[in-house]
Amino acid sequence: MAMENQVLTPHVYWAQRHRELYLRVELSDVQNPAISITENVLHFKAQGHGAKGDNVYEFHLEFLDLVKPEPVYKLTQRQVNITVQKKVSQWWERLTKQEKRPLFLAPDFDRWLDESDAEMELRAKEEERLNKLRLESQGSPETLTSLKKGYLFMYNLVQFLGFSWIFVNLTVRFFILGKESFYDTFHTVADMMYFCQMLAVVETINAAIGVTSSPVMPSLIQLLGRNFILFIIFGTMEEMQNKAVVFFVFYMWSAVEIFRYPFYMLSCIDMDWKVLTWLRYTVWIPIYPLGCLAEAVSVIQSIPIFNETGRFSFTLPYPVKIKVRFSFFLQIYLIMLFLGLYINFRHLYKQRRRRYGQKKKKIH
């Protein structure tokens, strides 16, 4: 039986930015498209060639949030591209008001960006617009964007070189000396680790003042946690500096950073090396828990040493006169350590899911 007059639903693919929605309707040779938005519902009807041949295809989508009622569309030989402006610039968790995704709707992976990448794109566009205005008003040949990218590239390069030196040094010494290399790790690489971790303060400042789009809290948690272990647990207690746990803490830290910093370097020059990107979003899965475990072991091993030496312990003033041992705060820190691991692990998991998980999960 002929299906020429049957009304069918086309395949529709979508993506978003903070201010816009993009829909790609898989219809070729479209004739007389009727596209409108009424009461926040997109109505589409057109004659064209789709999955069921030449037919009338139509669909209706009620958006998750308010949109402007003036859709803009462009016809090509193979598809219809529709752009819809959001009324409020924000990120949507899905496209439609209904939680269940319509069967004909799927993500447009050719245009898909996760929220952090979209924020970077939005920032870049805004910076480009401001730079053009600045150039028109001041006539300056130098742009803030190029300076920022150069600054970030150099920062990430220095950190990459520092952590690479630590990682290679520890690896080579282990293969040459075996387990004996564990016990003098601190005296071998501590100066470089001090340098890298003090320089990491810049990373948190960059996030706080908006130089980068990274959230401040995960960066701050990692900075404070690592520096507490490095400067307090290892740095102030010579008894801890000869323990094997120092090797494992430093090795886990550097193993993560030798992939993270080159990824950021290439991002500064708009390069995407897929292998490096996958490693940046994957190696933390085993390394972060192992690093946290190594840090916890170092804290546990330091408790009896702090109790014996009385370092950082103090006595409350009269009339209480209770001695407060520093080990009490170390026990609290152990709880905070795993809480920080949960926060950072959750943040990194979301980043990875946004980048690689779209094809596995349902997207509305």
Residue ranges in the chain assigned as alpha helix (H): 115-138, 144-177, 185-199, 201-209, 216-227, 238-241, 245-268, 274-280, 284-309, 326-356
- Alpha-carbon distances, residue 55 vs 49, 78, 313 (angstroms): 6, 15, 81
φ and ψ of 108, to 5 deg: -95, 95
The answer to whether 24 and 12 have CB atoms below 8 angstroms apart is: yes
Query: What is the pairing mode between strands 105-107 and 12-16?
Result: parallel
The answer to whether 288 and 344 have CB atoms below 8 angstroms apart is: yes
Question: Tell me, what amino acid is at 205?
Answer: I
φ and ψ of 344, to 5 deg: -70, -40
- The residue from 22, 194, 288, 356 that is catalytic is 288
| Active-site annotation holds for 295 | yes
The answer to whether 250 and 234 have CB atoms below 8 angstroms apart is: no
Distance CA 281, CA 353 (A): 9
Distance CA 201, CA 208 (A): 11
- The residue from 26, 203, 257, 295 that is catalytic is 295
Q: At what angle do helices 144-177 and 245-268 cross, to 10 degrees?
A: 150
Distance CA 29, CA 33 (A): 11
- In DSSP notation, 44-62 reads EEEEEEETTEEEEEEEEEE
| Sheet of 105-107, strand order | 72-75, 80-85, 20-25, 12-16, 105-107
Pick left, alpha or beta for residue 238 (phi over 0 → left; psi -120 to 50 → alpha; otherwise beta).
alpha
Residues labelled as active-site residues: 288, 295
